[in-house]
A and B are shown apart, each in its own frame.
Chain A
Amino acid sequence: MALSAGAAHERAEAMWRPRANRLGLWLFFASEAFLFAAFISARFVTSGTDKPDTLNQPLALGITVVLLASSISAYLAETSIAHGDRKGLIRYLSITILLGLVFLVGVVFEFREAMEYFPPGTIYGSNFVALIGLHGFHVFTGIVALAVALGLGKKGHFEPDDYWGVEGVVKYWHFVDLAWVIIYPTLYLF
């Protein structure tokens, strides 16, 4: 028996919607990768691999570890809701947000040191401000998005078979982490 037109469209949408969401997100990452690539290439073009001795290496390593750890908690948040564990979702999203905030505080601290030792008027300082600023902005938007997901999770949104919101936000968070994994050596290690 033929379905009604509305039911047919609903069924079709159920087929392509998850694929479209995922593809759209990955295309967005591809686009963002070009933005980061532009800033990173500016660093190598203008100041080669030079870096000042006054960089706060322990702090940078510390916040790198914090940010990487936050990817693990973000992953746990996603698997929690996939298994219907709402408490786990809320717990791990909160931990992720907290770690993200710790990272941001570290970045601000670092920024203040940078202003003193290698101000934006120097070429390394310019690149430092631009890259850290660009990435910091992404961390900030990531935290906002995680907070939105947390708020919705607390209100009872998301189900084991319907948690695209969490999945999208968590993937974005992984992307922001990955960007840092490339920016960290670009600024600190080369």
Chain B
Amino acid sequence: MRPLIRAVVLGLVGYVAGAWLTVAVRGGSPSDDVAVVFGFILGLIGWLMGIGVWNAWAREWFGLPAKPDQATGWKRYFTFNTDHKVIGIQYLVTFIAILLLGGAMALVMRMELARPGQDFLTLDAYNKLMSMHGILMVATAVAGVLGAFGNYLVPLMIGARDMAFPRVNALSFWLIPPVAIGLLSAPLLGSFDTGWTAYPPLSVVNQGGQVLFILAVTTFGLSSILGGLNIVTTVATMRAPGMTWGRLPIFVWGAFCASILSLLVTQFFAASLILILLDRVAGTTFFGAAAGGDPLLYQHMFWFYSHPAVYIMVLPAFGVMLEIITHLARKPLFAYKAVVAGFWGIVGLSTIVWAHHMFTSGMAEQLHAPFMALTEAISIPTGLVFLGALGTLWQGKLQSKTPLWLAFGWLFNFAIGGITGIYLADVATDIHLQDTYFVVAHFHYTIVGGTIFALIAGSYFWFPKITGRMYNERLGKIFAVWLTVGFNLVFIPLFWLGVNGLNRRVADYPEFYAGPNAFASVAAYILGAGFLLYAGNLLWSARRGPAAGPNPWNARTLEWQLPSPPPEHNFPLLPEVVGHPYDYGVPGSVHAAQEAAEGGEE
């Protein structure tokens, strides 16, 4: 725990020093935007140095020997540990905690929305709560699956001992706590009420909490970029002998493609937020129309990241779900090559569709048709992924396990999410549906139904590998049904509300919308209660569950050929891959021979 305490102390000292120095130099108050900026930057540096960047890394820059932390056991999780499995678990636990926190915020919102009128939240407080819920959940979706399973599984699946840059990997995780602290302390400075999108002009003129939002989210972007860079490099250079691109497990493909997107487009979100920050603290006028600035510039830059971001969220989730489906249907992954082509099609198309978020923004009319057509074209590669999932399930020997039950829920949800997306991509219907609850329902179907379902299903599927113990199957299945049904009960009514014109981001509504809102609120509490079952099952099983053995699913990918949990550095000998990972039922097929690789001869 010492590194963590050191990090907190140095972070606080850094913050106070930065804010105080700013006040000393230019006057004003320590809650001014500029003081917050310098405070946050110095605080971030202090935090990182305290947690272990100095000891394990920066000392080398001055010719001193590095002193990596030698903690073992549970203490590893609170230090600058470079083992990819430790980092994966750090991500998993952190983001499930943030998921539950963001979910609790949603329950407070649903409480307010249960009936018309302002009951206990002011309009302003509701917007701030909604904004906080939004950014926490977006962060969970972006980094939850990719950070947790990407880190934990990619090196195992490709037969590597760790990531290409283990220290960068630890850095990407330890950038996350300052992000959470920054966002959650924003209420001290008046919080932010722009939604997670932070559109100017509001985000340029509102209270100081917005600055913490900008700094925290930019830091989060840096974490995503470094994480993506690491995964791409690892997959490209560290595959075991024989692990050709055509033999990569499908999750590795999903994580790889998402990482390419994350590595490149995240910079546009950072850039757009930095421009807002400059407008606030440096007197620039990028988004002030009076002096020639253009608020639409922000929307273009923001969505150039934030549309691909939904694919950064969902590509690894596709990978998780296809892994689960193919292992538990006991069949080769159907149309493997088409699915990989679909992933690449998504990577390419996702960067040229962003303006479908802006049909009502007043941008040039001639952009409408091309963005509509390109957006609808994304259903082709996504369809290939669905084809792979359905074709694998078809006539498979389905193993009735919780992850597969969740996979069926996922198929249903994501299908609805995809189909309702067409109405939003279509200019004519979007002009009616823009900023209504239809949009809210649609993206919750894709992001919760698509990504969060994968996070949860994956946390069951790899639970025996990560902990060495088995979760309770009966409770798992009850939760799978509870989650799927509860989720649909909450969000189906929102489609109706949206089609009938109820605007999102407002705490109050006319009597006309009362019925479905009350229904959704009650359902939300039922859904929320289900998570107690989820958390209870996994927490209890992690300590008391029966031993799972190395390969409870009888799966063929490399991570299942190791003990549970896998030892440090994973593979005692380099595995040699000789066949496709999913050739279930193919006579004589082998994926990898561990003994065969002795590292060459001499």
Q: Contact residues of A with B, CB < 8 Å?
A: 1-3, 5, 7-9, 11-12, 16, 19-20, 23-24, 27-28, 30-32, 34-35, 38-39, 41-42, 45-47, 119-123, 125-127, 129-130, 133, 148, 151-152, 155, 157
Complex Cα distance, B61 from A130, in Å, reads 30
* Seed contacts A9-B574, A31-B264; 16 additional CB < 8 Å A-B pairs: A2-B599, A3-B598, A20-B237, A23-B237, A27-B233, A34-B265, A38-B267, A42-B271, A46-B297, A120-B282, A120-B285, A123-B286, A126-B284, A126-B286, A127-B286, A130-B275
Stretch at the interface among B118-126, B287-295, B370-378, B442-450: B287-295
Across-interface contacts of A23 in B (CB, < 8 A): 232-233, 236-237
Contact status A31-B238, CB under 8 Å:
no
Determine if B601 is an interface residue (Cβ-Cβ < 8 Å): yes
Report the minimal beta-carbon distance from B65 to chain A, rounded to whole angstroms.
12
Determine if B584 is an interface residue (Cβ-Cβ < 8 Å): no
Determine if B62 is an interface residue (Cβ-Cβ < 8 Å): yes
Across-interface contacts of A12 in B (CB, < 8 A): 574, 599
Across-interface contacts of A41 in B (CB, < 8 A): 301
Across-interface contacts of B282 in A (CB, < 8 A): 120, 129
Which of A19, A34, A45, A125 lies in contact with B264, CB distance below 8 A?
Answer: A34
Contact status A38-B601, CB under 8 Å:
no
Complex Cα distance, B394 from A170, in Å, reads 55
Q: A16-B238, A123-B292 are in contact. Are A24 and B278 (CB under 8 A)?
A: no
In this complex, what residue of B is CB-closest to A144? B61
Report the minimal beta-carbon distance from B207 to chain A, rounded to whole angstroms.
22
Determine if B164 is an interface residue (Cβ-Cβ < 8 Å): yes
Interface centre among A1, A9, A19, A27 (most CB of B within 10 A): A27
In this complex, what residue of B is CB-closest to A7? B599
Contact status B284-A129, CB under 8 Å:
yes
Contact status A39-B271, CB under 8 Å:
yes
Contact status B263-A27, CB under 8 Å:
yes
Complex Cα distance, B27 from A119, in Å, reads 22
Determine if B268 is an interface residue (Cβ-Cβ < 8 Å): yes
Contact status B601-A2, CB under 8 Å:
yes
- A-B contacts, 6 of them at CB < 8 A, read A3-B598, A20-B236, A46-B293, A120-B285, A123-B293, A126-B293
Complex Cα distance, B266 from A148, in Å, reads 28
Contact status A27-B237, CB under 8 Å:
no
Report the minimal beta-carbon distance from A50 to chain B, rounded to whole angstroms.
9
Which of B230, B237, B267, B301 lies in contact with A32, CB distance below 8 A?
Answer: B267
Complex Cα distance, B599 from A132, in Å, reads 51
Contact status A119-B164, CB under 8 Å:
no
Complex Cα distance, B236 from A155, in Å, reads 34
Complex Cα distance, B441 from A55, in Å, reads 52
Complex Cα distance, B600 from A34, in Å, reads 42
Contact status B63-A3, CB under 8 Å:
no
Report the minimal beta-carbon distance from A10 to chain B, rounded to whole angstroms.
9
> How many residue pairs between the two chains, A and B, have CB atoms under 8 Å in the bound complex?
135
Contact status B601-A8, CB under 8 Å:
no
Contact status A2-B598, CB under 8 Å:
yes
Across-interface contacts of B602 in A (CB, < 8 A): 1, 3
Complex Cα distance, B292 from A125, in Å, reads 11
In this complex, what residue of A is CB-closest to B284? A126
Complex Cα distance, B292 from A46, in Å, reads 7
In this complex, what residue of B is CB-closest to A13? B161
How big is chain B's contact interface, by range? 35 or more
Complex Cα distance, B424 from A116, in Å, reads 48
Q: Which 7 A-B pairs have the closest CB atoms?
A: A8-B599, A38-B271, A126-B284, A123-B292, A35-B267, A2-B598, A34-B267
Determine if B283 is an interface residue (Cβ-Cβ < 8 Å): yes
Contact status B599-A3, CB under 8 Å:
yes
CB 8 Å contact bits of B506-525 with A (1 = contact, 0 = none): 00000000000000000000
Q: A31-B229, A31-B267 are in contact. Are A120 and B237 (CB under 8 A)?
A: no
In this complex, what residue of B is CB-closest to A152? B63
Complex Cα distance, B161 from A2, in Å, reads 20
Q: A9-B599, A120-B282 are in contact. Are A157 and B63 (CB under 8 A)?
A: yes
Determine if B503 is an interface residue (Cβ-Cβ < 8 Å): no
Determine if B272 is an interface residue (Cβ-Cβ < 8 Å): yes
Contact status A155-B284, CB under 8 Å:
no
Contact status B264-A130, CB under 8 Å:
no
Interface centre among B62, B63, B230 (most CB of A within 10 A): B63
Across-interface contacts of A5 in B (CB, < 8 A): 572-573, 599
Report the minimal beta-carbon distance from A34 to chain B, rounded to whole angstroms.
4
Report the minimal beta-carbon distance from A135 to chain B, rounded to whole angstroms.
13
Determine if B534 is an interface residue (Cβ-Cβ < 8 Å): no
Report the minimal beta-carbon distance from B224 to chain A, rounded to whole angstroms.
10
Determine if B165 is an interface residue (Cβ-Cβ < 8 Å): yes
Report the minimal beta-carbon distance from A16 to chain B, rounded to whole angstroms.
5
Complex Cα distance, B572 from A126, in Å, reads 57
Determine if B270 is an interface residue (Cβ-Cβ < 8 Å): yes
Contact status A152-B61, CB under 8 Å:
yes
Complex Cα distance, B225 from A28, in Å, reads 9
Which of B62, B266, B278 lies in contact with A126, CB distance below 8 A?
Answer: B278
Interface centre among A28, A34, A41 (most CB of B within 10 A): A34
Report the minimal beta-carbon distance from B294 to chain A, rounded to whole angstroms.
5
Report the minimal beta-carbon distance from B42 to chain A, rounded to whole angstroms.
16
Complex Cα distance, B62 from A157, in Å, reads 11
Which of B237, B263, B294 lies in contact with A30, CB distance below 8 A?
Answer: B263
Complex Cα distance, B599 from A2, in Å, reads 7
Complex Cα distance, B595 from A25, in Å, reads 34
Complex Cα distance, B300 from A47, in Å, reads 16
In this complex, what residue of B is CB-closest to A128? B284
Contact status B233-A20, CB under 8 Å:
yes
Across-interface contacts of B264 in A (CB, < 8 A): 30-31, 34
Contact status B164-A24, CB under 8 Å:
yes
Contact status B61-A38, CB under 8 Å:
no
Complex Cα distance, B286 from A121, in Å, reads 9
Complex Cα distance, B301 from A9, in Å, reads 44
Across-interface contacts of A32 in B (CB, < 8 A): 267
In this complex, what residue of A is CB-closest to B270? A35
Report the minimal beta-carbon distance from A39 to chain B, rounded to whole angstroms.
6
- Chain B residues 57-73 with CB under 8 Å of chain A are 61-63
Report the minimal beta-carbon distance from A47 to chain B, rounded to whole angstroms.
7
